[in-house]
Amino acid sequence: MRMILSAVVLLATSACVTSPREPTGDSVILARAVTAIEQRSGGRLGVAVTDARGALLFGHRADERFAMCSTFKLLLAGQVLAKAAHGVSLRTPLRFVRADLVAYSPGTDKLLGPNGRGEQQLGFAAKDAVVLSDNSAANLILAHIGGPAAFTAEIHRRGDQVTRLDRNEPTLNENAPGDVRDTTSPAAMVKSAAGYIYGDWLTAGHRDTLRGWLIESETGLGRIRGGLPQGWLAGDKTGTCGTAYNDVAFAEEPGGAKYMIAVYLDRPAVKGDDANAVIADVARAVVQDLP
């Protein structure tokens, strides 16, 4: 009998060692909640949550491709700040003419002179791309660094082999069914974002700068941030393509725990504030499950 009991104990101990642990409080309940939210939305929902190190804690369609829309601007600003650490001046002039302006450029529009010419500075363009989601500012940065191909090459160099940018604003927002251009996955995006927000891809000062821009942005107050409890610190970058509603955020508990959250909502049956509320509902469900 003693030998049998010993074998049972040994088997149980072995099972504890080799069985995968649930990464969060109750992932099964969270998965069911997110699936229910997706069904109510009438669209396709992608979710990824990581800790500050970029380790995936939860995913729902986390490896499927979604149109980035303007969420790429978070990574673009990160690339600008990374270049600044290697000697590129944030005061580098980015000159443009009236024909360079595209729709939704609330910051760059103001810099156009009566002669039809204007000038933006690299650092301010990065800020406007994040805080205002300024499309012309993003295009000016892309032209400066070598275009969408250069953006993609840099993010691939960082280890993200999924995220790709193929076009400029506003054509990158097309979101045609089955088109892999200008797409990412929630898992790829949130891990890359964590590299800039919490990792060593930026200096401490530049991390603080990027975080500050994300906090200052108000385009996503009704999305992920709308589902976080009072007292949390968060900042985000949204993306909206007409047929897609996206958000990528860092979120920090008052106790100090830090997370990255990405939510991509493709072709929902609801629009506008109702689509924003879907993303807020996802954040609310995630918060209840965080370790």
Catalytic residues, by residue number, are 70
Query: SS3 for the chain, per residue?
Result: CHHHHHHHHHHHHHHHHHCCCCCCCCHHHHHHHHHHHHHHHCCEEEEEEEECCCCEEEEECCCCCEECHHHHHHHHHHHHHHHHCCCCCCCCEEEEEHHHCCCCCCCHHHHECCCCEEEEEHHHHHHHHHHCCCHHHHHHHHHHHCCHHHHHHHHHHCCCCCCCCCCCCCHHHCCCCCCCCCEECHHHHHHHHHHHHCCCCCCHHHHHHHHHHHHHCCCCCCCHHHHCCCCCEEEEEEEECCCEEEEEEEEECCCCCEEEEEEEEECCCCCHHHHHHHHHHHHHHHHCCCC
Q: Which residues contact 58 (CB under 8 A, 6 or more apart)?
A: 23, 24, 27, 30, 31, 47, 48, 49, 286, 289
Region class of 72: left (phi > 0), else alpha (psi between -120 and 50), else beta: alpha
CB half-sphere exposure, 16, CA atoms < 13 A: 6
- Cα–Cα dist 271/267, whole Å: 9
